[in-house]
Amino acid sequence: MEICLVRHGETDWNKLGKLQGHTDIRLNSKGIILANACADYLRESSYELIITSPLKRAKQTAQIISERNHIPIIEMSQFIERSYGDAEGLTQEERITKYPDLKYPNQESREFLLERVMLGLQKIQSEQDVKKLILVAHGAVINTILAVISNNEIGSGKTVLANACISTIRFAEGNWHILNYNQVNHLVINEFSP
108 part of the active site: no
* Rounded Cα–Cα distance for residues 16 and 112 (Å): 27
Residue 48 pLDDT exceeds 80? yes
8 part of the active site: yes
Q: Catalytic: which of 8, 108, 138, 186?
A: 8
* Rounded Cα–Cα distance for residues 65 and 80 (Å): 18
Domain at 2-190: CATH architecture = 3-Layer(aba) Sandwich (3.40)
Average pLDDT over residues 33-45: 94
* Rounded Cα–Cα distance for residues 63 and 69 (Å): 10
pLDDT reported for residue 19:
97
**Among 137, 156, 116, residue whose Cα is nearest residue 20:** 137
pLDDT reported for residue 44:
83
Instruction: Give residue limits of the domains in the chain.
Output: 2-190
* Rounded Cα–Cα distance for residues 25 and 166 (Å): 21
pLDDT digits (tens, 9 = 90+) for 61-92: 999 999 999 999 999 999 999 999 999 999 99
Q: Catalytic: which of 81, 88, 108, 138?
A: 81
> What mean pLDDT is reported for the chain?
94
Average pLDDT over residues 107-122: 97
Alpha helices in the chain (DSSP H): 12-16, 29-41, 56-69, 92-98, 110-127, 139-149, 185-190
* Rounded Cα–Cα distance for residues 140 and 186 (Å): 22
Going by pLDDT thresholds of 50, 70 and 90, the confidence category of residue 156 is confident
Sheet holding 49-52, edge to edge: 73-75, 49-52, 132-137, 2-7, 166-172, 175-183
